[in-house]
Structure 1
């Protein structure tokens, strides 16, 4: 296996720019990696070999004329199969859309293509992005690359696995309650959910329009910033899109002196596995070695806010799928049917009350974070479930059981998951940072400093090279 497949986007991009490798060669290497590992992990619904090679040839011709679009020029990227791709089927992980071929890209995909990224394939996901396991009854379960008997997390499980195994340099995921960050944590990679409205969701099949986010999944924090810099920007056709310019790219910090991180233990450590707690405690100590100060913080109303998230998400998703249910109800997986039953019990009063609780919680949390650079805690608090052990009645609670990601969605604040170590079973654990609105750059900067002191990409490379998946 060529080590270049585990290089950073920045380094691989420089190799292309300096003509040390061509976009065609890098794409062919990536496709070879997919052929080797995809039968084991099932990370893709569609591998876009012909489309990817055609784009690679175009980008190589540009390179021969010294035209370089940027750091993503010629870099293979995967896209969660809930975002539209022009001329390539977009299934949403569902049988209902198994034959749908959109005529235009999602905005985030279009921006990546224009920046020179090569879309290598459509990544597997939990059906309609409504679940934390990526056990898909229609396209098969995606396997965790560290233990193929376990889930990779979800719903962007295929995106995380493709990135972790060198089948893509990064991927686009979506995040409604943690669907970018949870699988990133469980697969040993990086996942970033930007501030709500920073990246357009247009062209993405909706789950919950007031909670949905689109963001990058990569192997390093710097790579996440490179992708996000391209993906972000105002879109007048997305009502949630913000007009302000949100800085993303950053200068690396030499240490974390002067950084204050808020920690609310009653939430962050509730239900945590003892071995995961050990890894997180070590990560906290490393943050303090780097100079960060971890201080206790209160988050009044958090339980009510998280219950509000469940009510909001299930109410909104039912309104999206209600027309389809009348005609295609029999094609949905059992766990989704359970979700719809839950949502049907929500009244308009319940929904409005939940949104009000949310607004109140956001305002209170901003007050509590005064003088705080970011909240800190674990991304996942439990080990990945074994595949096949989930029952439909667990569908809504899984994300809340497995991790502490939903907090950043009800807030809409930027949130990063970065690998921070391994359990005794050699399963990755993620460290989560949650910043204040539009402090995306600062969150990435803090995560980058921590990551560089504890590099996990080498562990990913060694694992895949050892053919232990």
Structure 2
């Protein structure tokens, strides 16, 4: 596997350097004095400069490709990079914008895709040997939407095999490293998406979330990640894990960028049976309304109990206090049953996952990694009546959450309960399944309910790792969730900090 990973890194570097000489002079003339500053600008900051012609999409894409070539061997975030097509798309974007055909804030912005998402003519492997030769013959709906908005697709991002795992480790494609400390995990399953955005390799990425796979990497990598309401973003052309709880959503530098991405991604899709008909409005519409009048629910059970890391509790409590001192009302909520959410989450995932993998695992069990094979096969032991019970419990649980939230606009909790573990701690060995099973205890709750749920940075641990805060709202009220996230970001600078464990000179 290590040899395969080295070969892939060599191919990625070659793709990133493709046609580089022909752009070198132009890039030197147009880059900001510190290229790393450009790499860490948000969509909201870049878009006006691109629209005005001050910044060329070619320069921006070349900056991404140069950073991928430089940092990919350290981080292992990408499975494939489309250097040539990305630069060609950037040239076309530059010409169209100069001719007055500006498509909006995503025009000319480099975006990475978790390798569950189909792009016509490219492989969708799910990070597995089983689908190593699986060539997509059409674009996923979210890809069609991104292309229509002028976004530039720059490559496929690493992930946990079939998105079925929480730590971000993958023995087939290699483990993704956290840019803040490359000995530590990113969490998963959108591991490459989290690392790539955090390291300034792409401006934005898409992830998927079934038990927390957008929000956990966002938390551990110090970025913003939104799990939209179930059905809000189409999943046609995206590999399934659990069809009744899978969500696709944005991973970006800031909350505002998540809102800008959602303006492109959201909407009904007849090709997706789970797609919602709920009307879609401008997700940026409430961003600047601040915290006045916002009622923040803080559960008095589960999310702040003794098993939660003390630094995480302190950081989230401090964030709640800061929001309260800037106009929000804090309401303590009694939710003694809320800990049942994660078991219900897993009780639905297992049988749905095995129904999806039944044929593949019967024919190619030897190609699955041992951990994922075991997870999938354990679903075979779930009876039909147990699955029905899990769905009944889900109905009851969703009603309980809806009733508890009637008096508040959002819930605010930690995103994950534990510190960022090392890769060694999480790597399975004989007789040791590896640490990290606690990571989705909080995020999985809101995959059960399907509510919009957003993770943003709210501090750092003593050893320099990001800490995430989760903001969860009412179904289809992403605008309020994003309003609260953006308001908090205006009061702090956590989201502006950059990783320290990747060297600009490497």
TM-score by length of 1: 0.96
Q: Distance in 2 between matches of 1:265 and 1:394?
A: 34
2:448 corresponds to? 410
Q: Contact between 2:301 and 2:335, CA under 8 Å: does it hold in 1?
A: no
Find out whether 1:257 has 2:260 as its counterpart. Answer: no
1:131 corresponds to? 165
2:481 corresponds to? 443
Deviation at residue 296 of structure 1 after TM alignment: 1.5
Q: Contact between 2:166 and 2:439, CA under 8 Å: does it hold in 1?
A: no
Deviations 1:419-465 (A, max 9, x none): 1010000000001011011111110001100011112343117x378
Deviation at residue 380 of structure 1 after TM alignment: 1.7
Tell me the secondary structure at the aligned position of residue 229 of structure 1. helix
Tell me the secondary structure at the aligned position of residue 330 of structure 1. helix
1:452 corresponds to? 490
2:464 corresponds to? 426
2:144 paired residue among 93, 105, 110: 110
In 2 relative to 1, CA 74–399 (structure 1 residues): closer, same or farther, beyond 3 Å? farther
Deviation at residue 78 of structure 1 after TM alignment: 0.6
After TM superposition, the structure 1 stretch with the greater mean CA deviation from structure 2, 374-383 or 292-301, is: 292-301
Tell me the secondary structure at the aligned position of residue 121 of structure 1. strand
Deviation at residue 306 of structure 1 after TM alignment: 2.6
Q: Contact between 1:378 and 1:403, CA under 8 Å: does it hold in 2?
A: no
Q: Distance in 2 between matches of 1:394 and 1:211?
A: 29
Q: Contact between 1:43 and 1:142, CA under 8 Å: does it hold in 2?
A: yes
Q: Distance in 2 between matches of 1:303 and 1:189?
A: 26
1:267 corresponds to? 302
> Map of 1:73-84 to 2, 5 A cutoff?
73-84=107-118
Structure 1: state its 5+ residue gaps.
none
1:356 corresponds to? 392
Q: Distance in 2 between matches of 1:12 and 1:52?
A: 17
Q: Distance in 2 between matches of 1:175 and 1:161?
A: 16
Q: Distance in 2 between matches of 1:241 and 1:397?
A: 35
Q: Distance in 2 between matches of 1:206 and 1:96?
A: 15
Structure 2: state its 5+ residue gaps.
1-33
Q: Contact between 1:338 and 1:395, CA under 8 Å: does it hold in 2?
A: no
After TM superposition, the structure 1 stretch with the greater mean CA deviation from structure 2, 14-23 or 450-459, is: 450-459
Deviation at residue 278 of structure 1 after TM alignment: 2.1
1:318 paired residue among 354, 371, 375: 354
Deviations 1:8-56 (A, max 9, x none): 1022111111111211121111100111111111111111112211221
Q: Contact between 1:376 and 1:433, CA under 8 Å: does it hold in 2?
A: yes
Tell me the secondary structure at the aligned position of residue 266 of structure 1. coil
In 2 relative to 1, CA 264–286 (structure 1 residues): closer, same or farther, beyond 3 Å? same
2:230 paired residue among 187, 191, 196: 196
Q: Distance in 2 between matches of 1:123 and 1:38?
A: 11
Tell me the secondary structure at the aligned position of residue 364 of structure 1. helix
Deviation at residue 86 of structure 1 after TM alignment: 1.2
Deviations 1:41-98 (A, max 9, x none): 1111111112211221221221231211111110001110111111121111111112
2:411 corresponds to? 375
1:6 corresponds to? 40
Q: Contact between 1:300 and 1:364, CA under 8 Å: does it hold in 2?
A: no
Find out whether 1:32 has 2:38 as its counterpart. Answer: no
2:177 corresponds to? 143
Aligned pair count reads 468
After TM superposition, the structure 1 stretch with the greater mean CA deviation from structure 2, 297-306 or 283-292, is: 297-306
Q: Distance in 1 between matches of 2:289 and 2:149?
A: 30
Find out whether 1:71 has 2:109 as its counterpart. Answer: no
Q: Contact between 1:383 and 1:402, CA under 8 Å: does it hold in 2?
A: no
1:289 paired residue among 321, 325, 334: 325
Q: Distance in 1 between matches of 2:303 and 2:240?
A: 28
Q: Distance in 2 between matches of 1:465 and 1:150?
A: 13
Deviation at residue 196 of structure 1 after TM alignment: 0.5
Q: Distance in 2 between matches of 1:336 and 1:468?
A: 37
1:89 paired residue among 119, 123, 134: 123
1:307 corresponds to? 343
Q: Contact between 2:181 and 2:501, CA under 8 Å: does it hold in 1?
A: no
1:332 paired residue among 352, 363, 368: 368
2:11 corresponds to? none
Q: Distance in 2 between matches of 1:278 and 1:300?
A: 21
In 2 relative to 1, CA 317–465 (structure 1 residues): closer, same or farther, beyond 3 Å? closer
After TM superposition, the structure 1 stretch with the greater mean CA deviation from structure 2, 407-416 or 20-29, is: 20-29
Q: Contact between 2:211 and 2:440, CA under 8 Å: does it hold in 1?
A: no
1:41 corresponds to? 75
Q: Contact between 1:42 and 1:141, CA under 8 Å: does it hold in 2?
A: yes
Q: Distance in 1 between matches of 2:261 and 2:488?
A: 20
In 2 relative to 1, CA 78–30 (structure 1 residues): closer, same or farther, beyond 3 Å? same
Q: Contact between 1:131 and 1:395, CA under 8 Å: does it hold in 2?
A: no
Deviation at residue 396 of structure 1 after TM alignment: 11
